[in-house]
Amino acid sequence: MQSKWIWYRGDFEFYHGLKLHMRRKEFGADYPAFWNQPNVYPTVTFMKTFHTDTEGYVKILACGKGYVMFDNTYRFNVGQDIFFGEGDHTVVVRICNTSGLPCIYAISDTFCTDRSWLVSPNTEDYINAGDSPEYTEPDKTPETFPFAYRKITPESIRTREDGVLYDFGQETFAELSIENAVDTEDFTVYFGESAEEATDCRNALLFERLSGKMSYRLPACAFRYVFIPTKLAASFAVSAFYEYLPLEDIGSFECGDKLIDRVWKVSAYTFHLCSREFFIDGIKRDRWVWGGDAYQSYMINDYLFHDNGITRRTLTLLLGKEPYSQHVNTITDYSLYVIMGAYNYYFSSGDADFIKFILPRLKALYKFIISNLDGRGYIVYRRGFWIFIDWADIDKGGANAGEQMLLYKAMLDMSLLCEAAGEDGSEYKAAAETLYGNIQRDFWREDRGAYVDSFDSGLEKVGRHINVLAIMTGAADEEKRALILDNVLKNDAVPPITTPYFGFYELDVLCSCGELEYAKERMRSYWGGMLKLGATSIWEQYIPTEQGAEHYAMYNMKYGRSLCHAWGAGPVYLLGRYFLGVRATSPGASTFEVKPEPGGFDKIMGTVPLQDGYVYVEYENGKLKVYTDKEGGSLVLGNKKLALKKDETLTVLVEL
């Protein structure tokens, strides 16, 4: 019996989401996120009934002000010892907090605070409380996020004419520590993901002006290099505290191709750095939570940590709560990715409890989406709606095909989410079927064997994005997929996708069509290209034709590019999903499939996590070994399907 801090479920995410989204600084200026964010419920009631056969006591701790009502009769102070006799009891704790997260913790010999408590925003609408395994100590409240810290020191310290440059050897996210400073001197610390950035004091994004202290521990930020432009720094003792979430790598991959093996490792490290309170896009610049980026992170997470907590936190935050008057991150497609992400999470985890919790919010968001469709049932532009899809030349005149395809998938997923929660989802399924027909009728071009971006505009443009989405969302059937592959994806005349964000979807779709060699070459050239330039984490974007510091520029800023971006970690997913070939085939991976494909590598070996288990795959020289500690697996070899036994290694001699 272990008490945990408990709160109104979901509010932990809103509280830390707000803190995260107001933490961004650029060029010394605060830069909070521009979208609407929900606040926590400031007034919360916690309730528990219990039975005890002996006498006992309890003391309730809280963040906020409030009282404890025992057996509906006696009112006690927070922090006061309450003694009770044997029998049935009811504890109601009412907390108000105007500046933090209302939460409580029980110290008792009889019962504990945990998610079995009921909680409401002082209404009769009770749900189960939120808790987390990290918050079991009375003095570690959920108002502080439970990051771990590890001391790191510079790998090299170089004294220059104009100051001292510290190189921590690789990209990191850390609280810089300075000791032996001179308390009377003002100085500034410049951070850089590159040495160029750190030493370019006029253009560095991140810096801190300091004065008046002998020692400093600065707010955590992203850097590899630190530059202090004063000779005084020679006497400073500079180190840092790496701030991280201690997530365990379950996934692994090796193929003997040293470049690809390093691509996997650096991708995994990149993903660690971007997996924090939530899945953030990158660690230097905005450090915000974006529905589209996060959707890719859910997929990568499934093949690296398989950590359900961070996916739940991210989905809860992005989903927000009623009333809805804005799309997720203001972007129409991102609302749809949140619904799709929720189903992806359910399929990966089998966690129906979480789906039951978020379903009312998902339905309210869905209702908001639907209430803004046009007369034909299509998503169209409205004031304040950002029809994004990608930074690319996509025809967004009128109804865009990609938005409708995502809506189709979201409708299907809503129906499956309802079923997961034990509710009827047929309404959503029916809507999906109608929309499916309309998409084929309005956007498919039989003569071109492809979907057009838009038909309202009359431009009849065929591009990669929409046809990638057609395959990804299931809007294209088997026959159309084949046509798209030939006419669009493998057609060099169609302009390439240039962003790594959408490049991830394209690679996913190509791999799902069996084009593993293409993916391998792409990983070698694109990801490998960055590593050859010395990258220690995967960048937001890499354009091989750029030179030197050109690689660091973006968004009209000399060092605007993030050199550590979550979507760059795609290879972790691609190598596990398509090369090791492991995927769940029913919710929670109660059944799963292993279909290894060397894809041009001499050997492949590695691990893929699953809900409550994992699979190890090894293939070399015609010998395939598959081990799993989980029931329900099958090995798929061509048309054959072999059952995998729990805790046993299946060895097959086969040419893959």
Question: Would you count residue 600 as binding a copy of itself (CB under 8 A)?
Answer: no
Question: Would you count residue 100 as binding a copy of itself (CB under 8 A)?
Answer: yes
- The strand pairing partners of 650, in sequence order, are 626
Q: Which is nearer to a copy of itself, 120 or 308 (CB)?
A: 120
Stretch that binds a copy of itself, among 181-189, 248-256, 320-328, 389-397 (CB under 8 A): 320-328
- Of 116, 122, 434, 525, the one binding a copy of itself (CB under 8 A) is 122
Contacts of 499 (CB under 8 A, 6+ apart): 390, 391, 392, 541
Question: Would you count residue 42 as binding a copy of itself (CB under 8 A)?
Answer: yes
Question: Would you count residue 30 as binding a copy of itself (CB under 8 A)?
Answer: yes
Cα of 329 vs its chain's centroid, Å: 14
Question: Would you count residue 213 as binding a copy of itself (CB under 8 A)?
Answer: no
DSSP classification of residue 121: S
What does 417-455 look like in DSSP terms, one character per residue?
HHHHTTS--HHHHHHHHHHHHHHHHHHEETTTTEE-SBS
- Of 56, 59, 67, 513, the one binding a copy of itself (CB under 8 A) is 67
- Of 6, 40, 331, 339, the one binding a copy of itself (CB under 8 A) is 40
Give the whole-angstrom CA distance, residue 599 versus residue 513. 12
Q: Which is nearer to a copy of itself, 92 or 157 (CB)?
A: 92
For a copy of itself, the binding residues in 327-386 under the rule CB under 8 A are: 383-384
Question: Would you count residue 500 as binding a copy of itself (CB under 8 A)?
Answer: no
Contacts of 8 (CB under 8 A, 6+ apart): 40, 41, 44, 102, 119, 120, 121, 129, 130
Q: Contact, 592 vs 630, CB < 8 A?
A: yes
Q: Which is nearer to a copy of itself, 50 or 386 (CB)?
A: 386
Minimal distance, residue 69 CB to a copy of itself, in Å: 9
- What contacts 24+ positions apart, CB below 8 Å, involve 442-450? 442/399, 443/401, 443/404, 444/480, 448/487, 449/480, 449/483, 449/484, 449/486, 449/487, 450/483, 450/484, 450/487, 450/488
3-class secondary-structure state, position 21: helix
In the block, which residue shows the tokens 């010999």?
Answer: 109
Give the whole-angstrom CA distance, residue 612 versus residue 341. 20
In the block, which residue shows the tokens 């630190």?
Answer: 226
Minimal distance, residue 26 CB to a copy of itself, in Å: 8
Question: Would you count residue 78 as binding a copy of itself (CB under 8 A)?
Answer: yes
Minimal distance, residue 386 CB to a copy of itself, in Å: 11
Give the whole-angstrom CA distance, residue 219 versus residue 170. 19
Question: Would you count residue 31 as binding a copy of itself (CB under 8 A)?
Answer: yes
Give the whole-angstrom CA distance, residue 521 versus residue 297. 22
- Of 98, 371, 545, 547, the one binding a copy of itself (CB under 8 A) is 98
Stretch that binds a copy of itself, among 74-82, 253-261, 336-344, 389-397 (CB under 8 A): 74-82
Question: Would you count residue 37 as binding a copy of itself (CB under 8 A)?
Answer: yes
Q: Which is nearer to a copy of itself, 49 or 77 (CB)?
A: 77
Question: Would you count residue 121 as binding a copy of itself (CB under 8 A)?
Answer: yes
Question: Would you count residue 123 as binding a copy of itself (CB under 8 A)?
Answer: yes
Interface residues toward a copy of itself, by CB under 8 A: 15, 18-19, 21-22, 26, 28-37, 39-43, 45, 64-67, 75-78, 80, 94-96, 98-100, 121-125, 322-323, 325-326, 383-384
